[in-house]
Structure 1
Amino acid sequence: MSEQNAFILQVQPLSRAAFAPFGDLIEADDAAHHFTINAGNTERYHDLANLEPGPEGRAIVSIFRGQPRRLPFTVTMMERHPLASQAFIPMSGHPYLVVVAPPGPAPDAQDLRAFLAQPHQGVNYAPGVWHHPLLALDAVSEFIVIDRAGPGHNCDEITLPQHGVIPARG
């Protein structure tokens, strides 16, 4: 499919409210439940994501190292994890892109939402939420990833019939 027939995705800032239909924003901000611990030396931002390892699963911690993507970028595929959540917490100090669609049947390009995540923001995809694999920008970037190990099929991938295009940053 040529890019001229593709659906243009408008990239919006990542916020707690805008991302809520897809999972949790992991961010130390005033909206998060927080309190002081360690004799007043540390502020704890508490219970930021609903991590779900799914039936018979267990939560695992990995590091993903993503190569930077060039913009404009054509979104040709999406994936989902039907049994469990998947959290991405950036470690490299670079912004990154998040492309999601609601859980349910395979999405069309018009169902996609694109967010620009800042280096201090992580995301937790709820079980079944369609998302594009890691979209690092600017430089090779590392992420702590908390997801599921266990029995059962937990990754569906689809090719989009109409592609989505994330334009170059202006």
Structure 2
Amino acid sequence: MSARIAKVEPLTREAFAPFGDVIEASDAVRHFPINGGTTERYHDLANVEVDAAGHVIVSIFRAQPRTLPFAIAMLERHPLGSQAFMPLHGRPYLVAVATRVETDAVRVFLARGDQGVNYATGVWHHPLLALGEASDFLVVDRAGPGANCDERDLAQPVVIERFV
């Protein structure tokens, strides 16, 4: 069986809801002024999850850019906690997720440089897919005891071609 060509979708809160949260400052989320009106707080944007044995950590990941076309051949998940990514350089990037480890289940989203994602606990996804140049991401996830990364190969790859 040949590879499936991915349709690249825009990242929206509604389309991404089965996989977790979109993190963005928009009128669609609760927001209000703080600090004497000099700051707008976009409140409670992601459901950060960790099991009882773990704790929340904040890291920076530096992702090397992917060259298109790019074949997604594997997925990973974190069964003990969520994992959030927020770009720090304002560059668009790709997000590949699935409800199960099957080629036909993989969805690919184009995230704007001002949008982050929070993968819910146990959601299958591909590691970071930076575009254009190396990009830093602020990452909020879990540390602690236990195996918290499962990796599985896809039976057939999903190919992300050049897109506009």
TM-score range, shorter chain: over 0.9
- Which amino acid letter does the alignment assign opposite residue 40 of structure 1? G
The correspondence for 1:124, drawn from 89, 106, 118, is 118
Q: Kindly report the root-mean-square deviation, in angstroms, between the aligned alpha carbons of the 2 structures.
A: 1.0
Superposed, 1:1-170 pairs within 5 Å as 5-102=2-99, 106-170=100-164
Identity among equivalent positions (%) equals 62
Q: Which amino acid aligns with 1:165?
A: V
Distance 2:107 2:163 in 1: 16
- Structure 2 gaps of 5+ residues are none
Tell me the CA shift for residue 95 of structure 1. Answer: 0.5
Query: Shift of residue 54 of structure 1?
Result: 1.6
Which AA in structure 2 matches 1:142?
Answer: D
TM-score, L = length of structure 1: 0.94
Q: Give the gaps of 5 or more residues in structure 1.
A: none
Report how far residue 55 of structure 1 moved: 2.2
Distance 1:117 1:54 in 2: 28
How far 1:12 sits from its partner (Å)?
A: 0.4
Distance 2:55 2:80 in 1: 11
Deviation at 1:66, TM superposition (A): 0.5
Distance, in Å, in 1 between the alignment partners of 2:6 and 2:52 is 35
Q: Deviations over 1:86-134 (max 9, x none)?
A: 00000012100000001xxx51110001000000000000000000000
Letter in 2 for 1:137: L
Q: In structure 1, how many angstroms separate the alpha carbons of the residues matched to 2:85 and 2:51?
A: 17
Runs of 4+ more than 3 Å apart: none
1:21 alignment partner, SS class:
coil
Partner Cα distance (1:91, 1:169) in 2: 23
Quick one: distance in 1 between partners of 2:51 and 2:72?
Answer: 28
Give the drift of 1:167: 1.1
1:22: how far off? Answer: 0.2
Letter in 1 for 2:102: D
